[in-house]
């Protein structure tokens, strides 16, 4: 079994069940050392997201608002938005393993492990959606994460933009969602959503940390200072650091961010 060919097939799958089953079979063989790396494999350019046939894609501003979280509709909107992030993250992790060749085996170990985590997160959230009578694909979604993978075609830019920026932003956003949910009247479903978010938050710290490790690796290989991080992010997300960010400082430090980076993003001394 060829590593890159199998990942290409998994990434190309439009059906979530088939994608997940194919990955689980592949990952079992990979961990048993039954998958071979083919040198100089011609990586495919993906022109549309794998969810494009099951989700209606709209501008991010047109995605339904996640409000009225005591209502079934509000809970579905919230869960669907996070489920979509986790499904997109499956492909992001797989593409990181597929797209960049000739790296240490530990690199591929890391991103396949992340993909496995993201699948578990997706299934956990999808089950909650189904409890509410909804399915993934029922609500409009945005294409921001897929577009990030399209635009970042070098290892250093991918590691900076995806785990160290987009996923790291989730470390800041999730505690705020949890705080909001915690102030609402208690219900069984809200408790289940909060439990799921706590699991995701804890495991996403490790994902961002993996991104930090390989970002630093790419910087060293290119003989560049890791300060190039801000230049890369500004290139793809202009003015994103113009205003102070509400940072999850502890989680970001665990994930590899330096105090100088955090102080710059917060526009004040936070560590």
DSSP 64: P
| Ramachandran bin of 68, using left for φ above 0, alpha for ψ from -120 to 50, beta for the remaining angles | left
User: Domain ranges in the chain?
Assistant: 52-266
C-alpha of 238 from chain center: 20
pLDDT at 182: 95
pLDDT for 26? 98
Question: Tens digit of pLDDT per residue, the chain (271 long)?
Answer: 899 999 999 999 999 999 999 999 999 999 999 999 988 899 999 999 999 999 999 999 899 887 889 999 999 999 999 999 999 999 999 999 999 999 999 999 999 999 999 999 999 999 999 999 999 999 999 999 999 999 999 999 999 999 999 999 999 999 999 999 999 999 999 999 999 999 999 999 999 999 999 999 999 999 999 999 999 999 999 999 988 889 999 999 999 999 999 999 999 999 8
pLDDT at 39: 86
Long-range contacts of 214-221 (CB under 8 A, 24+ apart): 214/103, 214/107, 214/110, 214/155, 214/159, 215/156, 215/159, 215/160, 215/163, 215/164, 216/256, 217/107, 218/154, 218/155, 218/156, 218/159, 219/156
Question: Alpha carbon 14 to chain centroid distance?
Answer: 18
User: What local confidence, expressed as pLDDT, does residue 67 receive?
Assistant: 81
pLDDT for the residue numbered 245: 87
Q: What is the pLDDT of residue 254?
A: 97
Distances (CA, A) of 150 to 99, 120, 143, 161, 240: 11, 24, 11, 11, 19
Give the integer Cα–Cα distance in Å for 35 and 85.
29
Neighbours of 112 (CB within 10 A): 22
The class level of CATH for 52-266 reads mainly alpha
């Amino acid at each position: 079994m060829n590593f890159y060919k199998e990942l290409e097939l998994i990434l190309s799958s439009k059906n979530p069940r088939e994608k997940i089953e194919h990955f689980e079979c592949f990952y079992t063989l990979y961990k048993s050392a039954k998958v071979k790396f083919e040198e100089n494999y011609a990586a495919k350019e993906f022109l549309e997201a794998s969810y494009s046939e099951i989700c209606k894609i709209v501008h991010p501003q047109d995605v339904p608002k996640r409000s009225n979280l005591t209502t079934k509709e509000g809970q579905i909107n919230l869960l669907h938005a996070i489920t979509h992030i986790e499904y997109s993250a499956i492909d992001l992790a797989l593409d990181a393993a597929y797209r960049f060749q000739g790296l240490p085996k530990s690199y591929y170990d890391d991103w396949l492990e992340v993909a496995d985590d993201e699948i578990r997160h997706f299934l956990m959230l999808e089950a909650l959606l189904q409890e509410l009578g909804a399915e993934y694909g029922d609500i409009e979604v945005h294409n921001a994460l897929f577009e990030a993978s399209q635009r970042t075609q070098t290892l250093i830019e991918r590691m900076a933009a995806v785990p160290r920026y987009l996923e790291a932003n989730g470390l800041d956003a999730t505690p705020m969602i949890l705080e909001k949910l915690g102030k609402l009247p208690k219900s069984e479903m809200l408790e289940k959503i909060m439990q799921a978010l706590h699991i995701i938050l804890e495991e996403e710290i490790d994902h961002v940390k993996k991104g930090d490790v390989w970002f630093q690796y790419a910087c060293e290989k290119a003989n560049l200072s890791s300060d190039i991080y801000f230049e890369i992010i500004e290139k793809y997300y202009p003015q994103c650091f113009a205003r102070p960010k509400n940072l999850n400082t502890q989680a970001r430090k665990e994930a590899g961010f330096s105090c100088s980076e955090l102080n710059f993003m917060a526009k004040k001394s936070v560590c």
